[in-house]
Amino acid sequence: MDDPILDCLIVGGGPAGLTAAIYLARFHLDILVVDGGKSRAAWIPCTRNHAGYPEGIAGTELLQRMRDQACKYGAKIETEFVTKLEHAADSGLFTATWGSGQAIARSVLLATGVSNRRPPMDEELHDDALARGLVRYCPICDGYEVTDKKVGVIGSDSHGVAEAVFIRSYTADVTLIAPDTALKVGPEDRRKLKEAGIDCVDGPAQAVAITGDCIVVDTAEGHYTFDSVYPALGSDTHTQLGEMVGAKLANDGCFLCDTHQRTSVPGLYAAGDVVHGLDQISHAMGEGGVAATTIRNDLCAKEPRWRASSSELEEAEAGS
Ligand SMILES: Cc1cc2nc3c(=O)[nH]c(=O)nc-3n(C[C@H](O)[C@H](O)[C@H](O)COP(=O)(O)OP(=O)(O)OC[C@H]3O[C@@H](n4cnc5c(N)ncnc54)[C@H](O)[C@@H]3O)c2cc1C
């Protein structure tokens, strides 16, 4: 028997993909979420800037609540990693492949996120430090938690400088540490660092241990102890599936979308961190909602989705 054609395949089950799943399932559309299970939200020990949770909420709990909500309305979720996406120009249909499975869909939403580049450190130490707030990745999210603390920023170039200067409005004790060699900063950045009173330390640097409530970083200039360290080493954007079908990217390597989350490929949409914009849960959710509504409207423009009458529904039920 031929596989049924999905109205929408969502790749990625983080805040963007799951918000879209909730909307699309409630639009009575036939959808599937395929998720690799590596949402950045799952790394968050407790998010305190997400509206509606005054005491904060763990990223894993937020994701589970969203999955439950999507499934309640009929969304199906599979834990798999999609490795191939094809687009048939004549039919407009997409075929996605993973492991031993595949799906055919009229539309695809890519909500595949980004990965932060990690500093050189033992993986177990990294995960433990992350859970305890000794390593942090997002000053917009949790800069408040390091107010008046001793903070190290591992980074270089303008990106590292911008992160260190951003954190300077939370604490007077900020040190910028080069990850690999001597700190590379131009005259303008050096001026900014001086003006903000940010100390600079040459690399190579490696976070080596947790002592009490602090993290120790070994550098070319000796050991430093911090309350928290922010790696500012950039991120890798998961656009590979979109590139397979020719989706255009913006200058920063994220998907180029219109204001309704359409990519340059008809029927292909993108939402969340994988699209240029603020890398935050609220933004990912907002884009997920916009994408889902656009997908619904675009599908209905091609073919109206009238709801069957109650007698037709009864007949269908009796026949099934
Ligand atoms: C340590 C940390 C703390 C943070 N704290 C906060 C905070 O307090 N507040 C806040 O607003 N934001 C915070 N963020 C940012 C927030 O987590 C992200 O902005 C948010 O998760 C983005 O959602 P998303 O759905 O776009 O991507 P993600 O949540 O990253 O989800 C993407 C999903 O796509 C899947 N995927 C990728 N490729 C494939 C594929 N080929 N096949 C199948 N699945 C695939 C991945 O496995 C993943 O599950 C934090 C981030 C980190 C790392």
pLDDT in tens, 22-70: 999 999 999 999 999 999 999 999 999 999 999 999 999 999 999 999 9
- 242 in ligand 1 pocket by Cβ < 6 Å? no
Alpha carbon separation from 320 to 76, 293, 308, 309, 316 (Å, rounded): 20, 30, 15, 17, 6
Q: How far is the CA of 181 from the centre of ligand 1 (A)?
A: 30
Rounded Cα distance, 155 and 145, in Å: 20
Predicted confidence (pLDDT) per residue in 107-161, tens digit: 999 999 999 999 989 999 999 999 999 999 999 999 999 999 999 999 988 999 9
pLDDT bin (cut points 50, 70, 90) of residue 1 is very low
DSSP conformational letter for 144:
G
Q: How far is the CA of 317 from the centre of ligand 1 (A)?
A: 40
pLDDT at 319: 78
pLDDT at 2: 65
Lowest mean pLDDT among 1-10, 175-184, 237-246: 1-10
From the CA of 16, give the closest atom in ligand 1. 25
- 142 in ligand 1 pocket by Cβ < 6 Å? yes
Instruction: Indicate if the pLDDT at residue 285 is higher than 90.
Output: yes
Q: How far is the CA of 308 from the centre of ligand 1 (A)?
A: 38
- State pTM to two decimals: 0.96
Q: For the purposes of burial, counting CB atoms within 10 Å of the CB of 310, is it exposed (0-12), middle (13-18) or buried (19 or more)?
A: exposed
High-pLDDT (> 70) share of the chain, %: 99
Ligand 1 site-directed mutation target among 138, 230, 237, 268, most atoms within 8 Å of CB: 138
